[in-house]
Amino acid sequence: MKICIVSDAWHPQVNGVVRTLDTLRHHLKARGHRVYMLTPRMFKTMPCPSYPEIRLSLNARMRSKRILDRWQVDAVHIATEGPLGWAARRWCIKNGRSFTSAYHTAFPEYVEARYPVKADWLYPIFRRFHAKSSGVLVATSTVRTLLRSKGFTNIIRWTRGVDAAQFSADEAARADAFPPAFKRPIQLYVGRVAVEKNIEAFLKTDVPGTKVVVGDGPALKKLQSDYPDVRFLGAKFGAELAAAYAGADVFVFPSKTDTFGLVMIEALACGTPVAAYPVQGPLDVVGADGAGPFEDWHTPIACLDDDLSTAIKGALGCDRTSCTAFARKYDWDIVTDQFLDALSITPDTAIYEEAPARTVAGAAKARLL
């Protein structure tokens, strides 16, 4: 099958959306599908206001039309609600083509965190964007519930996976990841350094040890100035990133707006327990009790608490071997199956079901939420 994935987020951006789509592309190709990526790399771009590393495609409508006309793909998936997403949506509707879309990022809440704009003012725009989709792919039941409360329909389960070949509990990497001067416990954050990630809540915690921030973003210089004792290491990739995860004693996820939080699974795969707030994302990935959403799993691999310092202290007591074993439940074969199943759904054939809340079988077999 010839599949087009449309995304306004793509390399050289570093975030969960890009990593998810890039890994999905490789898994689809491994199954014999031809994958076409419609991304800003094919367009002249301008920097997004306040996010210069995010590039907005220019002349997206006309150029996207020419590209999509030429590719003649069998299926279209629109991953983002940016200029390319709107252009591809218009092309699909005009040509009578069904398409799937995804709700990767809580953009209304992100905008609210940065500007004097209420998230509820923006939801009608996003609801309109996804209304024509044959299926809106979401990663968690919390996001599903939120979108249903905002009037979204046609919501389909699409979980996330971790690349076990890259992220693993490497003891040698753990020993060499950080210099001896980094006093333990080492508390690690990985991700964009931006206001909506709520990183300052982590940096204000009072747990002894060393706080480490891996990543880049618009808030980096201010946080470096305000918190001189924190180790800011910039963005890391590949083996260096995996080593940072493995070398930490706890992974801290302070965001309250992420729809999933792929970095949590990556950290767990490297044997590092998670500390977070009991909000969307962490609640779905590691569970309110820190033992995950699966019926056959009862060992804590994380700690959630409204007091982030308490969550960090609790997570430090989790067993690292259990963290690695738990992460294996986020299997990319399941992710790919769910994606391909969604592509076969049309508005005339869609049937939406409730997936079992805490069953591994439900995660593996139920494609719809």
Cα-Cα-Cα-Cα dihedral sign, residues 82, 87, 90, 91: negative
C-alpha to C-alpha distance for 318 and 118, rounded to whole angstroms: 38
Residue 363: its pLDDT value, please?
Answer: 37
Distances in Å between the alpha carbon of 310 and those of 125, 202, 254, 305? 38, 11, 13, 6
Is 39:63 a contact under the CB 8 Å cutoff? no
- How does 65-83 read in b/e, with b if 16+ C-beta sit within 10 Å? bebbeeeebebbbbbbbbb
Domains of the chain listed by start with CATH number: 2-161+332-365 (3.40.50.2000), 171-327 (3.40.50.2000)
Question: Strand, helix or coil at 65?
Answer: helix
Is 6:38 a contact under the CB 8 Å cutoff? yes
Look up the pTM and report it.
0.86
Half-sphere exposure of 185 (CA within 13 A, CB side): 18
Q: What DSSP element (H or E) covers 250? A: strand 250-253
Residues near 70 by beta carbon (within 8 Å), at least 6 away in sequence? none
Distances in Å between the alpha carbon of 159 and those of 20, 155, 162, 194, 310? 10, 13, 11, 25, 29
pLDDT tens, residue by residue, 210-259: 999 999 999 999 999 999 999 999 999 999 999 999 999 999 999 998 98
pLDDT tens, residue by residue, 12-53: 888 889 999 999 999 999 999 999 999 999 999 999 887 787
Q: Looking at this protein, which amino acid is placed at residue 227?
A: Y
Residue 350: its pLDDT value, please?
Answer: 44
User: Low-confidence residues of the chain, pLDDT below 70?
Assistant: 346-369
